[in-house]
Amino acid sequence: MTVALGEGQEPDPGVSQASLRGPGVLERIVLLRESPIAILGLCIILFWVAVAILAPLLAPFSPTATIQPMAPPWSRGAGGQLFVLGTDQLGRDVLSRIIFGARTVLIYAPAATASAYVVGVAAGLLAGYRQGWIDELLSRASDLVLAFPALVLYIVIIEKFGASSLNIIVAVTLASGPAVMRIVRGLVLDVRGRAFVAAAQVRGESPWYIMLAEILPNTTGPLLVDACLRLGYVTVTIGTLGFLGLGLPPPAPDWGGMINETRQFAMIYPHMVVFPCLAISSLVLGFNLLADGLGDIGKRL
């Protein structure tokens, strides 16, 4: 429970501040077992994580190997190979490409989201705690970036600097960092008036210590929920960029790129488009369910 200071009341620097803070990350993770929605979402995410890690063992073929073009699901090739999800127009096994495509999403979506959070959290802490001209400068800069449609910003950046894994991360960071900054700034403005922050100031702690050790840990609840939602959003973004031809260059297995490459055959051979779409949808669903579960847990704390 958070204890607010009354007017004229001085915080006791010797008091244990643990009781004044909100629940931590570990407490929320432990409470996940009480939310069936969160457990379901976590299971979906862990399934795809396991698929990505074990891709060389699970994939029946190389994701770039040409075997037999346009084979339907559960058909056999001339050599007796079984194509569980069929093959695409170039003869590549759809199942193998989806399995290896999970690596692409689960590497670049978390990396891009983490990069956006590093930038957004740092800027939000400074803006919310320091306030004044720093707050004005960072807030106006974030407003300027947020005024552009995110997809247009992605396209402009990647068209300018080329499609690569690094440029995808940079594009997502520039587009998502300001939104994270605004969230963190609002949380900091709320937390900076709490008793444990005042106690740290009385003890003579440095501003950086107060921001990182006192304020930031007490914003983790809403940030965890936002991070899960943002991971789902970035997953869709990576798929969209791949569909627009702005993702990883072929023949890299990319779920969005798979849809783009085979969309002209969708009416005749729908399996080439449907299965990558289902892969993207299921992973995004997992992140959204986990976010909903974490949000429910936060309301109970």
DSSP sequence for 137-205? HHHHHHHHHHTS-HHHHHHHHHHHH-S-HHHHHHHHHHHHHHHHHHHHHHHHHHHTTSHHHHHHHHTT-
What local confidence, expressed as pLDDT, does residue 156 receive?
84
In which domain, by residue range, is 52 found? 39-61+84-300
What pTM, to 2 d.p., does this model score? 0.84
Residue 10 lies in a domain: no
Our CA angle for 278, 75, 93, nearest 5°, is: 55
Is it the case that residue 4 has pLDDT exceeding 60?
no
Is it the case that residue 2 has pLDDT exceeding 50?
no
Q: Which long-range contacts (CB under 8 A, 24 or more apart) does 166-172 make?
A: 168/108, 168/112, 168/238, 168/241, 168/247, 168/248, 169/108, 169/111, 169/112, 169/115, 170/115, 172/112, 172/113, 172/115, 172/116, 172/234, 172/237
Residue 88 lies in a domain: yes
Q: What percent of the chain has pLDDT over 90?
A: 38
pLDDT bin (cut points 50, 70, 90) of residue 5 is very low
Contact 190, 129 (CB under 8 A): no
What local confidence, expressed as pLDDT, does residue 197 receive?
86
Residue 19 lies in a domain: no
pLDDT bin (cut points 50, 70, 90) of residue 145 is confident
- Taking residues 54-74, report their average pLDDT: 91
CATH of the domain at 51: 1.10.3720.10
In this structure, of 7-21, 75-89, 185-199, the range with the lowest mean pLDDT score is 7-21
Higher pLDDT, 295 or 26: 295
Higher pLDDT, 13 or 56: 56
pLDDT bin (cut points 50, 70, 90) of residue 63 is very high
Is it the case that residue 247 has pLDDT exceeding 90?
no
Is it the case that residue 31 has pLDDT exceeding 80?
no
Is it the case that residue 15 has pLDDT exceeding 60?
no
List Cβ neighbours of 142 (8 Å cut-off, separation of 6 or more).
123, 178, 179, 181, 182
Residue 187 lies in a domain: yes
Q: What percent of the chain has pLDDT over 70?
A: 88
What local confidence, expressed as pLDDT, does residue 25 receive?
58
What local confidence, expressed as pLDDT, does residue 203 receive?
87
At residue 29, φ and ψ (nearest 5 deg) are: -65, -40
What local confidence, expressed as pLDDT, does residue 101 receive?
93
What local confidence, expressed as pLDDT, does residue 21 receive?
52
Three-class secondary structure assignment of 200-246: HHHCCCCHHHHHHHHHHHHHHHHHHHHHHHHHHHHHHHHHHHHHCCC
Residue 77 lies in a domain: no
Residues 273-301 have pLDDT tens digits of 999 999 999 999 999 999 998 888 766 65
Is it the case that residue 219 has pLDDT exceeding 90?
no
Neighbours of 18 (CB within 10 A): 8
Q: How many structural domains does the chain have?
A: 1
Higher pLDDT, 113 or 28: 113
Residue 25 lies in a domain: no
Is it the case that residue 127 has pLDDT exceeding 80?
yes
Residue 79 lies in a domain: no
Residue 14 lies in a domain: no
- Taking residues 130-144, report their average pLDDT: 89
Higher pLDDT, 25 or 212: 212
Mean pLDDT value across the chain: 84
